């Protein structure tokens, strides 16, 4: 069994394409975008031309119809250069686009997926609220039926592409609170009356990935914009997050590889006491640990991706991959700063940005504690309890 692509030559070509793209169009601007919190919309349009914004979308909807091995590879390569761009790429592909691909009707797919696949439209996905982060079942944004329309009131927070997104998939309560069948998913286009975005959130890391709140003030949405059946939104979201966690794991892997690469390079350039610092056991052993944990993380991610492509349930495997890879990204980026010494604390070297970006990976799409809850619940099934 291989956890990589059955077509290894194709995977190598995709890796080369993504790497060249990142080096050409992203690397020269990383720190400028980070400092100014600039969300480079034009870059994502360019990624649409390369097929990176419709990786999993079938060709019939203008996507490239690839699988998770290729998707993981693209995310890893982009994120190794800039975690912010990798995060936005993941949110567009895994959440907004994939929700429509997985659960929408044919009319909705034909209308929206071609625009999302080519990045003519950028997608957002709204679940998190101020009072319901990890406790997603307690969301308070409501949708009340009024003839052929639903009236939405409430707000969402920490939404990627809230301002620039052309289309947002939103979960709103249509039933009783904490009822898993009391939430419905809606497709809402930018400019819909009563649907607005707040100001950009000033973040520690992932600063070039746009994050803001969304507000719904008597927002009228036609029933044709409901995804699936009324009351299925929360169940859809949970299924979607299995794939989303693979995305964040791949994002984490890219960040970890970037932090490791710059630390390895620095350790072989920097001299102290007339020796390369790599020759000190403390440094070389630290790098050995980093390399080993990165490879272990990739194997977990590739396994989850393989099973996802095979149509298998991946709740446990994706949670394991996301939990381990995100914690490895934090550990490796921290070690990278340490190896750089004082220079690692400056913006003249890339280590500090990997350090800042990595932390989000242990929070977004379920904290590490939530991943352990999911894993613990799943492994208990192995003993029939």
What is the set of active-site residues? 365
Rg of the chain over Cα atoms, rounded to whole angstroms, equals 21
Classify residue 159 as left (phi > 0), alpha (psi -120 to 50) or beta. beta
End-to-end CA separation in angstroms for the chain: 30
d(CA 339, CA 345): 11
Q: Is 229 strand, coil or helix?
A: coil
Q: Is residue 187 exposed (0-12), middle (13-18) or buried (19+ Cβ within 10 Å)?
A: buried
Structural tokens at position 52: 């990176």
Q: Is 218 strand, coil or helix?
A: strand
Sign of CA pseudo-dihedral 319, 324, 330, 336: negative
DSSP states along 47-109? HHHHTGGGSSS-GGGTS----HHHHHHHHHHHHHH-HHHHHHHHIIIIIIIHHHHHHS-HHHH
Q: Is residue 114 exposed (0-12), middle (13-18) or buried (19+ Cβ within 10 Å)?
A: middle
d(CA 232, CA 372): 25
Structural tokens at position 24: 């050409």
């Amino acid at each position: 069994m291989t956890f990589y692509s059955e077509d290894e030559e194709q995977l190598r070509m995709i890796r080369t394409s993504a790497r060249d793209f990142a080096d050409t169009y992203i690397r020269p601007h990383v720190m400028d975008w980070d400092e100014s919190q600039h969300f480079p919309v034009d870059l994502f349009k360019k990624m649409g031309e390369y097929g990176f914004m419709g990786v999993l979308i079938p060709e019939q909807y203008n996507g490239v119809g690839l699988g998770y091995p290729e998707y993981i590879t693209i995310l890893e390569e982009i994120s190794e250069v800039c975690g912010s761009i990798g995060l936005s790429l993941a949110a567009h592909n895994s959440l907004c686009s994939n929700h429509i691909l997985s659960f929408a009707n044919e009319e909705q797919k034909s209308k929206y997926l071609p625009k999302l696949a080519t990045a003519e439209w950028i997608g957002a996905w709204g679940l998190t609220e101020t009072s319901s982060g990890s406790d997603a079942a307690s969301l308070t944004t409501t949708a009340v039926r009024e003839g052929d329309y639903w009236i939405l009131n409430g707000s969402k927070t920490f939404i990627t592409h809230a301002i620039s997104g052309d289309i947002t998939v939103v979960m709103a309560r249509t039933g009783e609170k904490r009822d898993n069948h009391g939430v419905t998913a809606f497709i809402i286009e930018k400019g819909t009356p009563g649907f607005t975005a707040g100001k950009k959130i000033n973040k520690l890391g992932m600063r070039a990935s746009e994050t803001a709140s969304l507000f719904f003030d008597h927002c009228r949405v036609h029933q044709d914009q409901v995804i699936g059946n009324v009351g299925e939104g929360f169940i859809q979201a949970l299924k979607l997050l299995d794939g989303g966690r693979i995305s964040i794991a791949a994002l984490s892997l890219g960040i970890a590889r970037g932090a490791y690469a710059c630390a390895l390079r620095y350790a072989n350039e920097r001299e102290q006491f007339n020796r390369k610092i790599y020759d000190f056991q403390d440094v070389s052993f630290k790098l050995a640990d980093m390399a080993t944990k990165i490879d272990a993380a990739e194997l977990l991610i590739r396994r989850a991706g393989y099973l996802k492509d095979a149509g298998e349930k991946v709740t446990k495997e994706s949670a394991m991959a996301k939990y381990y890879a995100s914690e490895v990204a934090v550990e490796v980026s921290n070690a990278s700063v340490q190896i750089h010494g004082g220079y690692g604390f400056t913006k003249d070297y890339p280590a500090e940005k990997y350090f800042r970006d990595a932390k989000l990976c242990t929070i977004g799409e379920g904290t590490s504690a939530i991943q352990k809850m999911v894993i613990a619940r799943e492994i208990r099934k192995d003993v029939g309890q």
